[in-house]
Amino acid sequence: MKKITSIFALVTLLVFIIIALNFDTPSFEAFDIKIRSLLFGNSFIILFHNLGETKFIIVATVIMLLYLAFFKRDFRSVLFVLLTVGVGNGLNQLLKRIFARPRPELEDQLSSFSFPSGHAQISVMFFLTLAYLIVKWLKNKKWKFTTYTIMLILIFLIGLSRIAEGRHYATDVLAGWSIGYTWFIICVLWYESKKHK
């Protein structure tokens, strides 16, 4: 694990804390209104919300776990996936209850809490975990870079889709990305410390 990724994880944790303590201030509310006005109703971006849906993430995670357990016999990686995606999802639900932020006003709005965005947080944890494991098996640096680039684009579009749908504020999404990345790096640090023992 490069030191820069750990430092960035501390930065994203700080970003999460700042947003969590200030999302109801006038400046952050103005930011949310501005981003919503730019994205709301964008049908192309909205399509990407499906990749962050719970059903898709569960099915894809189960497939990943089965592959790691039965084809790779890599049980440390199985636990790594359970920590990043499974425990990470539990963390998201806990944070939603702690902050209890109502969702944006919208007809037929979801009844669950808004902060941080589950789609944003879980997409970071799932797609970065997937990229991390794929890159382990790749030799070519170009393919490694391409893998991470594709995953980051998907994460970005999934987060934006929640604003375009009106399901979340932009600050919910930024916070979800931030805490998702921090949790992912914590899990990577654990995973790599075990690997070298």
Task: Report the distance separating Cα 120 and Cα 159, nearest Å.
Answer: 5
Q: Which residue has the higher pLDDT, 77 or 1?
A: 77
Question: CA 147, 185, 123 angle in degrees (round to 5)?
Answer: 55
Q: Averaged over 88-97, what is the pLDDT? A: 96
Helix, strand and coil content of the chain, in percent to the nearest 5, comes to 80, 0, 20
pTM of this prediction?
Answer: 0.92
Domains: count for the chain: 1
Task: Report the distance separating Cα 22 and Cα 124, nearest Å.
Answer: 23
Which domain, by its residues, includes 172?
3-195
Task: Quote the DSSP letter at residue 102.
Answer: P
Q: Name the token pair of 21.
A: 């303590």
Model pLDDT for residues 123-171, shown as the tens digit of each residue: 999 999 999 999 988 888 899 999 999 999 999 999 999 999 999 999 9
